[in-house]
């Protein structure tokens, strides 16, 4: 028996880049949080502290800023691919590079003025290895609510079940979704907007018997609308809204007054996929 090094990677997390593109007096703004992680032949530094194969994480940060100048920054997927390919192509000891990007949207107020939009964050996770390229896009923090058109009944009852059945409840969630692209070329911006629209439309238009059913509907509508996608994974917290019992005050609560709970919360996680797509090149979720 010996104790040995297993899978490993290293990189720079949370490099905060703001890139201003000046087209005359009208400016365009890109606001990103970039992460880089590299893996490959990194035994020496672990075993003996020999850093001959270690590109400093400080260099990764510098590369993000330098590339932002040299190449500009358009869609986050494009920028992430550029960075990931650079590390694999220029560093022989690197066998895989993973670049993640959070993109924060700003609304234009004037030629050089902006207000940050807070309603959701666009995400990207690109992995480039010597054999494969994989692009995953996603969204987090998209909070949706239906104040009716949601039921929950017919579920298992055991000794510990006290939940009443309901034919009218609030259904609310904060969508955390990631979707895997079939290829490494796409109209990334259109694809993202289309996916978010499909997620939203499905949530709004599904008469829900369970959040699982809504999840399946959301995933199906995204894949139906976006042929460039292979599969989608959703993590949907059930943001419980508890009907407040007002009867003790002589008041009837006809699904009008709710306590918005923080914890605990239900958490529904699921994948929706095409049945004929190649498997993911590398693990891409959670």
Q: Active-site residue numbers?
A: 12, 57, 240
Determine whether the annotation assigns residue 134 to a binding site.
Answer: no
CB atoms within 10 A of CB 254: 9
Cβ 85 to its own copies shortest distance, Å: 15
In the structure encoding, which two tokens stand for residue 196, read together? 């978010």
Tell me whether residue 65 or residue 185 sits nearer to its own copies (CB atom): 65
Q: Which of 74, 208, 225, 282 binds its own copies (CB under 8 A)?
A: 208
Task: Give the torsion sign (CA, 192, 223, 231, 199).
Answer: positive
Q: What is the size of the binding site for its own copies (CB under 8 A)?
A: 138
Binding mask 152-171 for its own copies (x = CB under 8 A): xxxxx-xxxxxx------x-
Tokens standing for residue 277: 């797509």
CB of 279 to its own copies, least distance (A): 11
79, 192, 203, 284: residue in contact with its own copies (rule CB under 8 A):
203
Alpha carbon 216 to its chain centroid, in Å, reads 17
User: Rounded to whole angstroms, how far apart are CA atoms 79 and 285?
Assistant: 21
Close Cβ partners of 52 (under 8 Å, ≥ 6 residues apart): 44
Q: List, in sequence order, every residue forming a beta bridge with 253; answer none if it has no partner.
A: none
Q: Is 238 in the site for its own copies (CB under 8 A)?
A: yes
Check whether 87 is labelled as a binding-site residue. no
Choose which of 45, 74, 85, 189 interacts with its own copies (CB under 8 A): 45
The number of C-alpha atoms within 13 Å of 261 and in the hemisphere containing its C-beta is 14
Among residues 88, 97, 136, 144, which is the contact residue for its own copies, using CB under 8 A? 144
Does residue number 23 form part of the binding site for its own copies (CB under 8 A)?
Answer: no
For residue 1, state whether it binds its own copies (rule: CB under 8 A).
yes
Binders in 265-284 for its own copies, by CB under 8 A = 265-276, 283
CA nearest neighbour of 64 among 12, 29, 105: 12
Helix/strand/coil for 185: coil
**124 known ligand binder:** no
| Closer Cβ to its own copies, 53 or 189, answer by number | 53
Q: Is 146 annotated as a binding residue?
A: no
Identify residues 56-115 at the interface with its own copies (CB under 8 A): 56-59, 61-63, 65-66, 68-70, 90-91, 106-107, 109-110, 112-115
User: At 204, is the secondary structure helix, strand, or coil?
Assistant: helix
Residue 99 and residue 86 in contact, taking contact as beta carbons nearer than 8 Å: no
Is 104 annotated in a binding site? The answer is no
Name which of residues 246 to 265 contact its own copies (CB under 8 A).
246, 248-249, 251, 253-265
* Cis check: omega of the bond before 264, within 30 degrees of 0: yes
User: In the numeric block, which tokens belong to residue 266?
Assistant: 């239900």
**Interaction of residue 143 with its own copies, rule CB under 8 A:** yes
* CA distances (Å), origin 3, targets 6, 10, 62: 9, 20, 36
Q: Is 212 annotated as a binding residue?
A: yes
State the nearest-atom distance from the C-beta of 285 to its own copies, in Å.
Answer: 9
Residue with tokens 């979704």: 177
Binding residues: 57-58, 152, 169, 212, 238
């Amino acid at each position: 028996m010996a104790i040995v090094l297993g899978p490993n990677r290293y990189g720079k997390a949370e490099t905060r880049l703001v890139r201003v593109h000046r087209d005359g007096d009208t400016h365009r703004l890109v606001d990103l949080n970039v992460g880089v992680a590299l893996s490959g032949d990194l035994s020496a530094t672990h075993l003996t502290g020999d850093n001959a194969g270690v590109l400093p994480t400080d260099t990764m940060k510098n590369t993000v800023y330098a590339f932002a100048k040299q190449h500009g920054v358009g869609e986050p997927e494009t920028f992430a691919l550029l960075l990931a390919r650079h590390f694999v192509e220029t560093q022989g000891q690197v066998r895989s590079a993973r670049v993640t990007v959070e993109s924060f949207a700003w609304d234009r107020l004037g030629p050089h003025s902006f207000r940050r939009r807070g309603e959701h964050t666009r995400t990207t996770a690109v992995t480039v290895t010597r054999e494969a390229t994989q692009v995953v896009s996603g969204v987090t923090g998209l909070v949706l609510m239906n104040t009716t058109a949601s039921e929950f009944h017919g579920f298992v009852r055991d000794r510990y079940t006290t939940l009443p059945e309901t034919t009218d409840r609030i259904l609310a969630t904060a969508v955390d979704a990631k979707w895997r692209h079939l290829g490494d070329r796409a109209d990334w911006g259109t694809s993202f907007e289309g996916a978010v629209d499909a997620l939203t439309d499905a949530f709004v238009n599904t008469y829900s018997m369970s959040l699982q059913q809504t999840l399946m509907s959301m995933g199906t509508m995204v894949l139906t609308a976006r042929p460039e996608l292979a599969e989608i994974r959703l993590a949907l917290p059930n943001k419980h809204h508890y009907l407040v019992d007002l009867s003790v005050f002589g008041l009837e609560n006809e699904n009008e007054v709710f306590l918005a709970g923080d914890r605990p919360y239900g958490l529904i996680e699921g994948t929706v996929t095409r049945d004929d797509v190649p498997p993911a090149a590398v693990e891409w979720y959670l």
